[in-house]
Amino acid sequence: MKPTQSVRLIALLSSLAGAASAQTVPAPASPAAAPPAPVLAPAAAPAPVAAPAPVAAPVPVAAPAPVAAPAPVAPSTEPALVPVPPRPDPTNSNRPRRFLVGAAWNVAFPVGSVHDFTNATSALGFEFLVRYFALPQLSIGASTDFQTFIATRPRTTYPIENGAVTATAYNSVQSAAVRASVHYYFLKDGPVLPYAGGNIGVSWSTFQSAAADLAIYDNQTSILLGGDLGALFPLQNSSLTLMTALRYSALPSAEFLEVSDVQSLTLQFGLLTL
Protein backbone atom coordinates (compact mmCIF):
# COMPACT_ATOMS: atom_id res chain seq x y z
CA MET A 1 0.00 0.00 0.00
CA LYS A 2 1.26 3.48 -0.83
CA PRO A 3 0.10 5.92 1.81
CA THR A 4 1.24 8.82 -0.29
CA GLN A 5 -0.93 7.72 -3.16
CA SER A 6 -3.90 7.49 -0.86
CA VAL A 7 -3.19 10.93 0.54
CA ARG A 8 -2.96 12.40 -2.91
CA LEU A 9 -6.20 10.80 -3.97
CA ILE A 10 -7.90 12.06 -0.84
CA ALA A 11 -6.52 15.54 -1.44
CA LEU A 12 -7.69 15.50 -5.03
CA LEU A 13 -11.15 14.29 -4.16
CA SER A 14 -11.40 16.65 -1.21
CA SER A 15 -10.57 19.63 -3.35
CA LEU A 16 -13.09 18.55 -5.91
CA ALA A 17 -15.68 18.00 -3.24
CA GLY A 18 -14.98 21.46 -1.89
CA ALA A 19 -15.57 22.92 -5.30
CA ALA A 20 -18.75 20.95 -5.61
CA SER A 21 -20.15 22.36 -2.43
CA ALA A 22 -20.26 25.77 -4.01
CA GLN A 23 -22.12 24.56 -7.01
CA THR A 24 -25.79 24.14 -7.62
CA VAL A 25 -27.75 22.70 -10.43
CA PRO A 26 -25.81 20.71 -12.95
CA ALA A 27 -25.49 22.09 -16.38
CA PRO A 28 -26.56 19.75 -19.11
CA ALA A 29 -23.86 19.07 -21.56
CA SER A 30 -25.82 19.99 -24.62
CA PRO A 31 -25.11 23.31 -26.25
CA ALA A 32 -28.62 24.38 -25.37
CA ALA A 33 -27.55 24.45 -21.79
CA ALA A 34 -25.99 27.85 -22.16
CA PRO A 35 -28.24 30.77 -21.40
CA PRO A 36 -29.89 31.89 -24.58
CA ALA A 37 -27.60 34.52 -25.83
CA PRO A 38 -29.44 37.34 -27.46
CA VAL A 39 -28.37 37.60 -30.99
CA LEU A 40 -28.55 40.90 -32.69
CA ALA A 41 -30.25 41.04 -35.98
CA PRO A 42 -28.31 42.73 -38.66
CA ALA A 43 -29.16 46.21 -37.61
CA ALA A 44 -29.36 48.88 -40.16
CA ALA A 45 -26.97 51.70 -39.90
CA PRO A 46 -28.65 54.84 -38.79
CA ALA A 47 -29.73 56.73 -41.75
CA PRO A 48 -27.75 59.89 -42.19
CA VAL A 49 -29.82 62.89 -41.67
CA ALA A 50 -29.79 65.21 -44.58
CA ALA A 51 -28.52 68.61 -43.84
CA PRO A 52 -31.13 71.22 -44.41
CA ALA A 53 -30.67 72.74 -47.67
CA PRO A 54 -29.72 76.35 -47.56
CA VAL A 55 -32.61 78.47 -48.18
CA ALA A 56 -31.66 80.67 -50.98
CA ALA A 57 -34.87 81.31 -52.47
CA PRO A 58 -38.24 80.31 -51.78
CA VAL A 59 -37.96 77.19 -53.44
CA PRO A 60 -39.84 74.17 -52.85
CA VAL A 61 -38.81 72.28 -49.90
CA ALA A 62 -35.73 70.40 -50.52
CA ALA A 63 -36.26 66.88 -51.26
CA PRO A 64 -35.55 64.64 -48.33
CA ALA A 65 -32.13 63.24 -48.21
CA PRO A 66 -31.84 59.77 -49.46
CA VAL A 67 -32.77 57.36 -46.79
CA ALA A 68 -31.36 53.98 -46.41
CA ALA A 69 -33.44 51.06 -47.08
CA PRO A 70 -36.00 50.64 -44.44
CA ALA A 71 -34.59 48.76 -41.48
CA PRO A 72 -36.51 45.87 -40.06
CA VAL A 73 -38.94 46.92 -37.52
CA ALA A 74 -37.52 46.51 -34.09
CA PRO A 75 -38.09 47.99 -30.69
CA SER A 76 -36.12 51.04 -30.39
CA THR A 77 -34.38 50.02 -27.16
CA GLU A 78 -33.75 46.26 -27.57
CA PRO A 79 -31.87 44.37 -30.16
CA ALA A 80 -33.70 41.85 -32.19
CA LEU A 81 -33.50 38.22 -31.01
CA VAL A 82 -33.04 35.16 -33.08
CA PRO A 83 -35.24 32.34 -31.98
CA VAL A 84 -33.26 29.66 -30.15
CA PRO A 85 -34.34 26.18 -29.17
CA PRO A 86 -35.99 26.09 -25.78
CA ARG A 87 -33.69 25.11 -22.94
CA PRO A 88 -34.42 21.56 -21.94
CA ASP A 89 -36.05 21.31 -18.61
CA PRO A 90 -33.95 19.01 -16.42
CA THR A 91 -37.11 17.82 -14.80
CA ASN A 92 -38.61 16.98 -18.12
CA SER A 93 -38.73 13.28 -18.70
CA ASN A 94 -37.99 13.94 -22.31
CA ARG A 95 -34.60 15.41 -21.57
CA PRO A 96 -31.76 13.88 -23.55
CA ARG A 97 -30.59 10.58 -22.16
CA ARG A 98 -27.01 10.56 -21.19
CA PHE A 99 -24.06 8.48 -20.13
CA LEU A 100 -21.88 8.87 -17.10
CA VAL A 101 -18.39 7.46 -17.42
CA GLY A 102 -15.74 7.58 -14.78
CA ALA A 103 -13.69 5.98 -12.09
CA ALA A 104 -13.87 5.56 -8.35
CA TRP A 105 -11.45 4.99 -5.55
CA ASN A 106 -12.75 2.26 -3.29
CA VAL A 107 -12.05 1.84 0.40
CA ALA A 108 -13.29 -1.55 1.54
CA PHE A 109 -13.99 -3.14 4.89
CA PRO A 110 -14.03 -6.94 4.93
CA VAL A 111 -16.92 -8.46 6.82
CA GLY A 112 -18.05 -11.99 7.44
CA SER A 113 -15.67 -14.91 7.47
CA VAL A 114 -13.06 -13.15 5.36
CA HIS A 115 -12.65 -10.66 8.19
CA ASP A 116 -10.82 -13.35 10.14
CA PHE A 117 -8.48 -13.84 7.20
CA THR A 118 -7.76 -10.24 6.34
CA ASN A 119 -9.26 -7.86 8.83
CA ALA A 120 -7.61 -4.67 7.70
CA THR A 121 -9.45 -1.92 5.92
CA SER A 122 -8.25 -1.74 2.36
CA ALA A 123 -7.75 1.50 0.50
CA LEU A 124 -6.37 -0.51 -2.38
CA GLY A 125 -9.41 -0.49 -4.59
CA PHE A 126 -10.36 1.04 -7.87
CA GLU A 127 -13.27 0.92 -10.25
CA PHE A 128 -14.17 1.94 -13.77
CA LEU A 129 -17.86 2.45 -14.40
CA VAL A 130 -20.39 3.61 -16.92
CA ARG A 131 -24.04 4.44 -16.37
CA TYR A 132 -26.72 5.05 -18.92
CA PHE A 133 -29.86 6.91 -17.98
CA ALA A 134 -32.61 4.84 -19.47
CA LEU A 135 -35.11 7.04 -17.62
CA PRO A 136 -34.62 10.38 -15.93
CA GLN A 137 -34.40 8.72 -12.56
CA LEU A 138 -33.17 5.31 -13.54
CA SER A 139 -29.81 4.27 -14.85
CA ILE A 140 -28.37 0.99 -15.88
CA GLY A 141 -24.66 0.45 -15.92
CA ALA A 142 -21.63 -1.73 -15.92
CA SER A 143 -18.42 -1.59 -14.00
CA THR A 144 -15.21 -3.43 -13.33
CA ASP A 145 -13.42 -3.10 -10.05
CA PHE A 146 -10.28 -4.29 -8.33
CA GLN A 147 -9.69 -4.63 -4.63
CA THR A 148 -6.82 -5.92 -2.55
CA PHE A 149 -7.04 -6.88 1.08
CA ILE A 150 -3.77 -7.41 2.92
CA ALA A 151 -3.34 -8.13 6.59
CA THR A 152 -0.60 -9.32 8.85
CA ARG A 153 -2.04 -11.94 11.12
CA PRO A 154 -0.84 -12.74 14.62
CA ARG A 155 1.71 -15.49 14.95
CA THR A 156 -0.21 -18.67 14.29
CA THR A 157 0.40 -22.32 13.51
CA TYR A 158 -0.79 -23.35 10.07
CA PRO A 159 -1.02 -26.92 8.80
CA ILE A 160 0.91 -27.79 5.68
CA GLU A 161 1.35 -31.10 3.92
CA ASN A 162 2.90 -33.52 6.42
CA GLY A 163 3.70 -30.81 8.84
CA ALA A 164 3.00 -27.41 10.24
CA VAL A 165 4.51 -23.97 10.28
CA THR A 166 4.29 -21.36 12.98
CA ALA A 167 4.83 -17.87 11.79
CA THR A 168 3.45 -14.46 11.27
CA ALA A 169 1.29 -14.86 8.21
CA TYR A 170 0.67 -12.33 5.52
CA ASN A 171 -2.78 -12.96 4.16
CA SER A 172 -4.16 -11.33 1.09
CA VAL A 173 -7.17 -11.42 -1.13
CA GLN A 174 -6.98 -9.82 -4.53
CA SER A 175 -10.19 -9.68 -6.45
CA ALA A 176 -11.46 -8.40 -9.73
CA ALA A 177 -15.09 -8.18 -10.68
CA VAL A 178 -17.41 -7.16 -13.44
CA ARG A 179 -20.89 -5.99 -12.52
CA ALA A 180 -24.12 -5.02 -14.15
CA SER A 181 -26.01 -2.48 -12.10
CA VAL A 182 -29.23 -0.54 -11.90
CA HIS A 183 -29.72 2.65 -9.90
CA TYR A 184 -32.80 4.62 -8.98
CA TYR A 185 -32.38 8.33 -8.27
CA PHE A 186 -34.71 9.78 -5.70
CA LEU A 187 -34.56 13.27 -7.18
CA LYS A 188 -34.90 14.33 -10.74
CA ASP A 189 -32.59 17.25 -10.43
CA GLY A 190 -30.59 19.20 -7.95
CA PRO A 191 -27.12 19.68 -6.59
CA VAL A 192 -27.29 16.29 -4.92
CA LEU A 193 -28.85 13.25 -6.52
CA PRO A 194 -29.16 10.47 -3.98
CA TYR A 195 -29.67 7.01 -5.29
CA ALA A 196 -30.01 3.37 -4.38
CA GLY A 197 -29.15 0.43 -6.52
CA GLY A 198 -28.22 -3.15 -6.90
CA ASN A 199 -25.72 -5.08 -8.90
CA ILE A 200 -24.89 -8.58 -9.96
CA GLY A 201 -21.78 -9.92 -11.55
CA VAL A 202 -18.84 -12.27 -11.44
CA SER A 203 -15.77 -12.02 -9.27
CA TRP A 204 -12.37 -13.64 -9.50
CA SER A 205 -10.42 -13.81 -6.26
CA THR A 206 -6.88 -14.90 -5.48
CA PHE A 207 -6.32 -15.87 -1.87
CA GLN A 208 -2.84 -16.18 -0.49
CA SER A 209 -1.44 -16.95 2.91
CA ALA A 210 2.32 -16.51 3.03
CA ALA A 211 4.73 -17.23 5.85
CA ALA A 212 8.43 -17.07 5.23
CA ASP A 213 8.82 -18.37 1.71
CA LEU A 214 5.90 -20.73 2.11
CA ALA A 215 2.75 -19.60 0.41
CA ILE A 216 -0.64 -21.17 0.04
CA TYR A 217 -2.88 -19.71 -2.57
CA ASP A 218 -5.98 -20.47 -4.55
CA ASN A 219 -8.07 -18.84 -7.21
CA GLN A 220 -11.81 -18.72 -6.79
CA THR A 221 -14.58 -17.61 -9.08
CA SER A 222 -17.88 -16.60 -7.61
CA ILE A 223 -21.11 -14.94 -8.48
CA LEU A 224 -21.28 -11.46 -7.03
CA LEU A 225 -24.30 -9.81 -5.45
CA GLY A 226 -24.40 -6.29 -4.15
CA GLY A 227 -26.33 -3.20 -3.32
CA ASP A 228 -25.39 0.40 -2.81
CA LEU A 229 -26.57 3.74 -1.50
CA GLY A 230 -24.96 6.87 -2.77
CA ALA A 231 -25.24 10.28 -4.28
CA LEU A 232 -24.10 12.18 -7.31
CA PHE A 233 -22.88 15.75 -7.05
CA PRO A 234 -23.04 17.35 -10.48
CA LEU A 235 -20.76 20.34 -10.83
CA GLN A 236 -22.25 23.47 -12.29
CA ASN A 237 -20.87 24.70 -15.57
CA SER A 238 -19.00 21.46 -15.89
CA SER A 239 -19.62 18.03 -17.20
CA LEU A 240 -17.95 16.54 -14.16
CA THR A 241 -19.92 14.80 -11.46
CA LEU A 242 -18.65 13.63 -8.13
CA MET A 243 -19.92 10.43 -6.65
CA THR A 244 -19.83 8.88 -3.23
CA ALA A 245 -21.50 5.67 -2.21
CA LEU A 246 -21.51 2.84 0.29
CA ARG A 247 -21.73 -0.56 -1.33
CA TYR A 248 -22.24 -4.02 0.07
CA SER A 249 -20.88 -6.95 -1.90
CA ALA A 250 -21.06 -10.67 -1.31
CA LEU A 251 -19.14 -13.48 -3.01
CA PRO A 252 -20.94 -16.55 -1.70
CA SER A 253 -18.78 -19.06 -3.55
CA ALA A 254 -15.33 -17.70 -2.70
CA GLU A 255 -13.81 -20.17 -0.22
CA PHE A 256 -10.27 -20.59 1.07
CA LEU A 257 -9.04 -22.16 4.29
CA GLU A 258 -11.33 -20.78 6.99
CA VAL A 259 -12.96 -18.33 4.58
CA SER A 260 -16.44 -19.51 3.60
CA ASP A 261 -17.40 -16.42 1.66
CA VAL A 262 -16.24 -12.89 1.03
CA GLN A 263 -18.35 -9.96 2.05
CA SER A 264 -17.31 -6.37 2.09
CA LEU A 265 -18.55 -2.86 2.64
CA THR A 266 -17.00 -0.43 0.24
CA LEU A 267 -16.87 3.33 0.48
CA GLN A 268 -16.59 4.81 -2.98
CA PHE A 269 -15.31 8.18 -4.10
CA GLY A 270 -15.78 8.70 -7.79
CA LEU A 271 -15.28 11.21 -10.51
CA LEU A 272 -17.59 10.90 -13.49
CA THR A 273 -18.03 12.81 -16.66
CA LEU A 274 -20.84 13.12 -19.13
Partner 1 sequence: MQGRLLGLAALAIAGSISSCSSPPPPEARLSDSIVLTKHAPDASFGSYHTFFIRPEIRVLADGESADSIEDRYAAILLAETTQNLLARGYEQVDVKADAELAVEMVYVRSVNSGTACYSWWDAYYWGYPGWAYYPYYGCTSTAWRVGTLATMIVDLTPARNEAGGDADGGAPDSAAGAAGAAPREKLLGMIWFGGVYGVETGYTESNVDRARHGIEQAFAQSPYLVTSP
Residues that bind partner 1 (CB under 8 A): 1-2, 5-6, 8-9, 12, 102-103, 105, 123-128, 146-148, 150, 155, 157, 160, 162-168, 170-172, 174, 208, 210-214, 239-240, 271, 273
Query: What's the min distance (Å) between Cβ of 212 and partner 1?
Result: 5
Query: What's the min distance (Å) between Cβ of 160 and partner 1?
Result: 8
- Residues making up the chain, counted from first to last: 274
Query: What's the min distance (Å) between Cβ of 73 and partner 1?
Result: 43
Query: What's the min distance (Å) between Cβ of 129 and partner 1?
Result: 11
N-terminal to C-terminal alpha carbon distance within the chain: 31
Q: Which is nearer to partner 1, 111 or 271 (CB)?
A: 271
Query: What's the min distance (Å) between Cβ of 21 and partner 1?
Result: 19
Q: Which is nearer to partner 1, 165 or 180 (CB)?
A: 165
Q: Which is nearer to partner 1, 165 or 265 (CB)?
A: 165
Query: What's the min distance (Å) between Cβ of 125 and partner 1?
Result: 6
Q: Which is nearer to partner 1, 211 or 254 (CB)?
A: 211
CB–CB of 80/41 below 8 Å? yes
Q: Which is nearer to partner 1, 6 or 137 (CB)?
A: 6
Three-state secondary structure of the chain: CCHHHHHHHHHHHHHHHHHHHCCCCCCCCCHHHCCCCCCCCCCCCCCCCCCCCCCCCCCCCCCCCCCCCCCCCCCCCCCCCCCCCCCCCCCCCCCCCCEEEEEEEEEEEEEHHHHHCCCCCEEEEEEEEEEEEEECCEEEEEEEEEEEEEEECCCEEEEECCEEEEECCEEEEEEEEEEEEEEEECCCCCCCEEEEEEEEEEEEEEEEEEECCEEEEEEEEEEEEEEEEEEEEECCCCCEEEEEEEEEEEECCCCECCECCEEEEEEEEEEEEC
Q: Which is nearer to partner 1, 92 or 166 (CB)?
A: 166
Query: What's the min distance (Å) between Cβ of 40 and partner 1?
Result: 30
Q: Which is nearer to partner 1, 124 or 254 (CB)?
A: 124
